[in-house]
């Protein structure tokens, strides 16, 4: 089988990969639309639950709770609202103001309907880079902010730029990136869009080095996680905040 694969002409192999990529994207799009439709039909209003927010992951929620309880977070910024589950969870759990952006107009509208009436939530239809850039001109830049980055999607992968924008303008911040590869625990799922677009440390290493960021992975093994078991990484500038993160039992230094 491996020999046959090597004998396939380059153009044919590339055509196969292109078709597979389109099918994968179509599958994810359909799955996303089904989830959105289910949300409107079954849960048209946000209702908290163990399986709601942070992909239904118990240990991910523990990480967030530990950060809110032990670090001086004053506000939360999210990129990639989707249908608003994590947005509302963060607002209600932390009792901090949450600003969130969504590029897809359909998901933005659904989130606005589902989260109507929930205090401390501000939703915006915008590209994540433009959204973050706009926030750098206001008072939020002076606050200690928890950033939850979840706006990645195939051809549009703003993650490296998002991290660079945050680290260049905020002095005190904590960043959590969803769908990220936990390099020493293959049980955690992560996004891989091909052609150097894997959500993993190499994608953001330049920003980590340029801004001297400390990186942490979940302390819990994937086998002990619940829900979707998506990986994540947590970043902070070295110093006070990174020191506090290193003391949390829910995190460990990234390798």
- Residues 30 and 74 both lie in one domain: no
The pTM for the full model equals 0.90
Assess if residue 11 is contained within a domain: yes
Total domain count for the chain?
Answer: 2
In the chain, which ranges are E strands?
Answer: 75-79, 98-102, 121-125, 145-149, 173-178, 213-218, 232-237, 251-253
Assess if residue 47 is contained within a domain: no
- Residues 93 and 204 both lie in one domain: yes
* DSSP secondary structure of 161-227: HHHHHHHHH-SSEEEEEES---TT-TTSB--B-STT-BSSHHHHHHHHHHHTEEEEEESS-GGG--T
Assess if residue 27 is contained within a domain: yes
- For residue 133, give the 3-state DSSP assignment: helix
Where the chain has pLDDT below 70, the residues are 1-8, 10, 13-14, 16-18, 20-21, 24-25, 28, 154
- Residues 117 and 15 both lie in one domain: no
- Residues 66 and 36 both lie in one domain: no
Assess if residue 180 is contained within a domain: yes
- Residues 27 and 69 both lie in one domain: no
Domain range spanning residue 20? 2-42
CATH number of the domain where residue 93 is located? 3.40.50.150
pLDDT tens-digit map of 136-192? 999 999 999 999 999 987 678 999 999 999 999 999 999 999 999 999 999 999 999
């Amino acid at each position: 089988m491996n020999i046959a694969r090597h004998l396939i002409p380059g153009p044919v192999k590339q055509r196969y990969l292109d078709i597979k990529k389109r099918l994968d994207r179509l599958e994810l799009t359909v799955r996303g639309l089904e989830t959105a439709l289910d949300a409107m039909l079954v849960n048209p209003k946000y209702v908290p639950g163990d399986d709601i927010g942070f992909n239904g992951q118990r240990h991910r929620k523990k990480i967030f709770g530990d950060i809110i309880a032990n670090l001086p977070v004053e506000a939360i910024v999210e990129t990639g609202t989707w249908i608003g589950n994590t947005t509302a969870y963060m607002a209600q759990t932390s009792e901090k103001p949450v600003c969130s952006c969504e590029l897809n107009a359909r998901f933005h509208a659904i989130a606005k309907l589902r989260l109507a009436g929930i205090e401390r939530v501000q939703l915006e239809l915008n590209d994540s880079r433009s959204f973050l850039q706009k926030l750098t001109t206001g008072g939020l830049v002076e606050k200690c902010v928890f950033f939850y980055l979840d706006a990645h999607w195939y051809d549009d992968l703003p993650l490296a730029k998002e991290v660079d924008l945050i680290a260049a303008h905020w002095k005190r911040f904590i960043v959590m990136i969803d769908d990220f590869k936990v390099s020493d625990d293959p049980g955690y799922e992560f996004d891989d869009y091909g052609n150097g677009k894997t959500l993993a440390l190499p994608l953001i290493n330049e920003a980590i080095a340029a801004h001297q960021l400390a990186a942490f992975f979940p302390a819990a093994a994937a086998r002990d996680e619940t829900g979707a078991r998506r990986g994540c990484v947590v970043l902070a500038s070295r110093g006070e905040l990174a020191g506090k993160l290193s003391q949390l039992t829910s995190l460990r230094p990234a390798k």
